[in-house]
Amino acid sequence: MDMRYLNGWKEFVKVTLVACLLFSAGFGVMSAGAESTLVVDGDADGDDEYKSIQSAIDNASEGDVIRVQDGTYREELTVGKNISLIAPNGATLNGSNLQFGYAITIPEYSSASPTIQGFRITGYSPRGISADRTEGSWTLADLRLDNNFRPVYAYGASGDFTLSNVTIENNTAGLITADTSGDWTLENSTVQRHKDPGISTEESSGNWTITNSTIQNNDIGVRADISGGDWEITNSTVTQNFDGISATSASGNWSITENRIHQNRRTGLVIRQSGSGEATQNWWGSQDGPSGMYTGSGDAIAGVTEVNPIYTDEKQSTLEHQAQIHNHDRVQTFIVGTSQESDTETIQAAIDQAQDGDTIRVEDAEYSEPIRLDVGVVLDLNGSELDGSQLSTDLPGIRVESQTATAEVTDGIIESFDDAIIGAGGDGQRIIENVSINTRIGIYGSGQTDWDIRNAEIDADTSGIEATFSSGDWNISQTEISSSTYVNVQKGIDAAGTDGDWNLSDTVIQNVSSDGISADDATGDWDIVNLTISEATLGIDTEPEFSTREPTSGSWEIRDSTFAHTDVGINGISVVGQWSVDQSTFIENQHGINATNVQTEIDATGNWWGESSGPSSGSCVGNVDCGDYLTSAPTTDADSEGEFVLPDQNTPAQNIDADEQLEDVDGNGQGNLFDALAYYNNRDSSVIENNIPQFDFDGDGTAGTLFDAIALYNDVS
């Protein structure tokens, strides 16, 4: 071969190879240059480093890294980009100088997936990290959040977010992931010392995971009630909470395994009416396993699930099939009625034989007896009616006196008593579910008892729920409080002087002559979602009724709610707590919000006031910010597929022409007189009141009136 040819070929290969390497290197530089590192040092000294974190965020591009040097920063940050915000030496975000603020906000409905790492976040109210309704898979890592009101608030988020090596401690609430649908993860973290639940993930539907974490010294360690996902708690310690894990009515294939659940004050696990989950391979604080519904002496379990095998030592080295359910002479189901299967003919006789943990099932009939419920049982009325019309008018229907165990009343009708249900003494939890009440006072609760009211209908003559000066926590969901005797009823919920925390969701209060909710002198924190108050003098009233009462001092967060046809939607005179009202509707009120003599400005931005031009003169009075208003009504009450089903219909309302309105109210595929009738019969439902664009047929900016029904009939006929 010609050596000149060979040498020339080698030179060509060498030059080509070098060119390729340079080309690749050049692209590498360009790629690296596209992702910059910005530095925040807190100094305005004219160098290339930023003084404020937010200015660095505003100038960052997708993929950039922001490094925050150590120091204390008093800022409120908004992060809506895919960036990394890192404090390698532990910078502090301190909100103690703010009366109302969020440390870090990932905007609602944002798909951004930022990483936030290395900070201490302290002193913020109402939220440390606000990520509600976000859609991204964001990450929180190596954080400490303390002395905030709500340190991490991810209500309704749908992304697969992660919290790793995070310490959440000494806040009012802990991690809030309620109503989330994503497969989020908490790993290698600590959640401790909160008067509210450490982790609130009730009504979540995602397959979330808690692993290698410690959850201790909270009210409830993990609250997963009414959850629907196949979630998992594993390799974690749940200890020294009031209740360790609460999963009442959890319907998914959940798993609680390889944990240390011990030294919780009331129960280690509550699993009443839960689905096909299991709690196997756990240490319950004793070698003989859990107590409660089981024969061991460790932490109690309220309810029955598969728990074997159990660890017989805290080091979790030995597994045995040792946990035994109590024999039937200890845990029983009593049948009340006159059939051959019944054990007693009266409800009280069954209660007198029952012990904590038993179930009393009542055959469907009418019973005329006052009940003293002094044990922690499930009283399943099974559709029967408890009628006091033939008894003394000052008797309560059910007087609940169980001392420490949970007492539950379900699936029945209580009418013609002075009070339907009274909580008298003891500190066991009271659960009221699927109960219809027609009495003078619906439910009367006092003392330190916690109440959980779900899917109830309360038609009361004086007060729907009377809770004055009680100190327990109240959870009310999917409940309607009203009165057929509008002139007599005074208050939907009377919470004056209460110290406990209140959670209201998917609830309607209407046709009350005075207050929808009376909360003067209340000191607890309130979380309200999808509440409708209509046809009341005052929707929410915090003005002291007597000179001896103090102004309301708790923190309130109200969202996705409706206040309609009142003199004042929210009468917040003299409140001293932190208040926010968001994504809510105010229509046909003389005044929307009265914030006279309020110390801390009420944040009422982002609401719908019935007109695209925002609140009219007089809608917002006093120290309240009603700016940044919605220009159209928010839509709520759709089902998981975005459909709207009226209360007495089985199929969703449909659009039968090209506009936005749902003329086919009964969902049968055509528009006619029956749609107008169905609309009028459901005119007071929250589905119509909360979705004005779909149901405002006369075009006046409101929905649910006779004129809307007439306009609908004229349209479809």
What are the residue boundaries of the structural domains of the chain, listed by start?
A: 1-34, 91-320, 332-362, 454-625, 636-717
Q: What is the mean pLDDT of the chain?
A: 88
Q: How would residue 635 be classed by pLDDT, with cut points 50, 70 and 90? A: low
Q: How would residue 657 be classed by pLDDT, with cut points 50, 70 and 90? A: confident
**φ and ψ of 32, to 5 deg:** -65, -35
- How far CA 360 is from CA of 270, 369, 531, in Å, comes to 19, 15, 33
What's the pLDDT at 5? Answer: 39
**DSSP helix/strand/coil, 712:** helix
Position 308 pLDDT exceeds 80: yes
Q: Of 233-237, 299-303, 485-489, 505-509, which gets the smallest average pLDDT?
A: 485-489
Averaged pLDDT for residues 665-676? 83
487-527: pLDDT as tens digits: 455 799 999 999 999 999 999 999 888 899 999 999 999 99
Position 61 pLDDT exceeds 60: yes
Domain 91-320 in CATH 3.40.50.2300: no
Q: How would residue 17 be classed by pLDDT, with cut points 50, 70 and 90? A: very low
Contacts of 4 by beta carbon, 8 Å cutoff, 6+ apart: none
Averaged pLDDT for residues 226-233? 95
Q: Which residue has the higher pLDDT, 275 or 33?
A: 275
Distance CA 661, CA 663 (A): 6
Q: How would residue 240 be classed by pLDDT, with cut points 50, 70 and 90? A: very high
Which 3-state string (H, E, C) describes 551-598?
A: CCCCCEEEECCEEEEEEEEEECCCCCCCEEEECCEEECCCEEEEECCC
What's the pLDDT at 403? Answer: 66
395-405: pLDDT as tens digits: 889 988 776 77
Residues of the chain with pLDDT > 90, as a percent, come to 62
Query: What is the number of residues in the chain?
Result: 717
Averaged pLDDT for residues 54-77? 97
What's the pLDDT at 676? Answer: 85
Position 23 pLDDT exceeds 80: no
Q: How would residue 8 be classed by pLDDT, with cut points 50, 70 and 90? A: very low
Q: Which residue has the higher pLDDT, 107 or 396?
A: 107
What's the pLDDT at 6? Answer: 39
Q: Is the bond preceding 290 in cis, omega lying within 30 degrees of 0?
A: no
164-212: pLDDT as tens digits: 999 999 999 999 999 999 999 999 999 999 988 999 999 999 999 999 9
Tell me how far apart the terminal alpha carbons of the chain are, to the nearest angstrom: 97
Position 96 pLDDT exceeds 80: yes
Q: How would residue 239 be classed by pLDDT, with cut points 50, 70 and 90? A: very high
Position 236 pLDDT exceeds 90: yes
Position 79 pLDDT exceeds 50: yes
Across 14-28, 417-431, 434-448, 675-689, which has the greatest mean pLDDT?
434-448
Position 392 pLDDT exceeds 80: no
What's the pLDDT at 24? Answer: 36
Residue with tokens 């909100």: 95
What's the pLDDT at 21? Answer: 34
What's the pLDDT at 13? Answer: 36
Averaged pLDDT for residues 360-366? 94
- How far CA 418 is from CA of 75, 426, 443, 468, in Å, comes to 54, 21, 10, 17
415-455: pLDDT as tens digits: 999 899 998 766 778 999 999 999 989 999 977 789 999 99
What's the pLDDT at 273? Answer: 67
Residues of the chain with pLDDT > 70, as a percent, come to 91
Distance CA 181, CA 159 (A): 7
Distance CA 551, CA 522 (A): 8
594-622: pLDDT as tens digits: 999 998 999 999 999 999 999 999 999 99
What's the pLDDT at 708? Answer: 87
Concatenate the DSSP letters of all residues of 343-357 into one string.
SBSSHHHHHHH--TT
150-167: pLDDT as tens digits: 999 999 999 999 999 999
Averaged pLDDT for residues 14-19? 36
Position 18 pLDDT exceeds 60: no
Averaged pLDDT for residues 466-474? 92
Q: Which residue has the higher pLDDT, 272 or 629?
A: 629
What's the pLDDT at 330? Answer: 55
Nearest to 168, CA basis, from 156, 154, 183: 154
Write b or e for each residue in 173-183: b if 16 or more Cβ atoms lie within 10 A of its Cβ, otherwise e.
Answer: bbbbbbbbbbb
Position 324 pLDDT exceeds 60: yes
Q: Is the bond preceding 114 in cis, omega lying within 30 degrees of 0?
A: no
Distance CA 637, CA 435 (A): 22
Q: How would residue 11 be classed by pLDDT, with cut points 50, 70 and 90? A: very low
